[in-house]
Amino acid sequence: MATATKSESTTNLKLKPLADRVVCQRDEADEKTSGGIVLPDSAKEKVNRARVIAVGPGRRDDNGTVHPLSVSPGDYVLLNKYGGDEFDVDDIKYTIVKESDILAVIEN
């Protein structure tokens, strides 16, 4: 089970990704420009940064060995702007990607 947070409400996301899949929640797009102009939804760009919510057990090779993923829930990662499949659960948007689609892990 993974927990996702949006604003102050919390939803339990009961989702177990398979193989080398990773469920992420993208950061919210900026509502205003640096000059203070409010952006409509159609003008907002997708955000590359996302928080990992849940991960699958790992990729299985031809010999049957499972290779665990290099990311874990709570990590922040960079995703391709238009990669992955998006879905909504309780008005919260999630993106599911293969581990190979993750560009980088953001370290603090």
pLDDT in tens, 50-90: 999 999 999 999 999 999 999 999 999 999 988 899 999 88
Whether the pLDDT of residue 103 is over 90: the answer is yes
From the number of C-beta atoms within 10 Å of its C-beta (0-12, 13-18, 19+), residue 93 rates as middle
Helix (H) or strand (E) holding 53: strand 49-55
pLDDT in tens, 4-57: 444 333 446 678 899 999 999 998 866 666 777 776 766 666 778 999 999 999
Q: Report which of 45, 53, 44 is spatially closest to residue 87, judged by C-alpha positions.
A: 53
What integer best gives the mean pLDDT of the chain?
Answer: 82
